[in-house]
Structures are given as structure tokens and as C-alpha cells.
Amino acid sequence: MNWYSIFYWVTRADSVKTFFDVASNIFTTFTIIGFIGLAITAIGKNGTISDKKLTNKEEDKLDPDYRSWAKVHTQFAILFYVNLALALITWAGYMFTPTKKETLLIIAGGGTMQFLTTDSAAKQIPHELSTFVVNELKSMAKDAYRDWETDRKSVV
């Protein structure tokens, strides 16, 4: 295990989370634009068909107005689906990337609990002390969750 790498990523956790936040906002915006474009071009394609009373696919393919609507519709579909995929990936990255505080709690709490439950020397620690440590870790976890909820609500 390379401790330099671990401590580097712990210090970068907030920046990575911020990157995912900004990227998800950008991709979500383009996804919405793509969806609106898809809706408008679908209405335009159907309007061209009904205005010119086109009845089959061969007439559709030959009509220049329909072909231009279909081309723009395809471009908006590509914009929509690509940005939807990127938005979902960056949303997941934002949701599953812990902040620095959460990362330190995970590492310290996990290591402490692992030590307390498996080490034979830890079994010699008085029960009151181990109970105190467990209660403090649970309290820290609740505080971190409260901070996270406060940060989340302030963003919305």
C-alpha cells in the first residue's frame, strides 16, 4: 500500500468532488437543451408530414423539408444521448466521491474499528474505553452526515 498516494487522494477529495459537481451541471444543461431540441424537431418533422400529406417512407425520404428536419433531429438526438450518459456518470461520481472530512472519517473510523474488533491487545482495553471510542466514532459520523446535509441544502 502506497501511503503517499492515499494521502494525496485524501487531500484532493474536495477538488475531485467539485469537478464532478461542475461537470454534472454542464452535462445536465446540455442534456436539457438536447431534449428540448428533440421535442421541437419531432414536432417539425410531424408538421412537415401532415402539411404535405406525405403517406409513406419513400415520400418522406424524397422531401427536402422532411430530410432537413430529420437531419437536425438526429443531431439533437446525438447531443441528448451523449450528454445524458456523461451527466449520469458525473452525477454518480459526485454522489460517490467523499469529501476530505468524510474520507478521513472512513479511514480513521474503519481502521480503529478493525483494530478494536480483531486485535488481541485491544481486548485488554477496558470495556468503558472501547464503548467511549465507538460512541465517539458514531457521533463523528452523525456530525459528518449533518454537515453533508447542510452543504447539500445550501447548494439547492
Q: Quick one: what percent of the chain has pLDDT higher than 90?
A: 33
Residue 50: its pLDDT value, please?
A: 60
pLDDT at res. 92: 95
51: pLDDT strictly greater than 70: no
> How many Å is the Cα radius of gyration of the chain?
27
50-to-39, 47, 53, 64, 71 alpha-carbon distances in Å:
17, 5, 5, 15, 18
As a whole number of Å, the end-to-end CA separation of the chain is: 38
**Closest residue by Cα to residue 18 from 89, 77, 76, 98:** 98
Higher-scoring residue by pLDDT: 123, 100: 100
Higher pLDDT, 1 or 91: 91
Q: Can you give the pTM of this predicted structure?
A: 0.65
Indicate the angle between helix axes 3-52 and 100-118, nearest 10 degrees. Answer: 130
DSSP letter at 56?
S
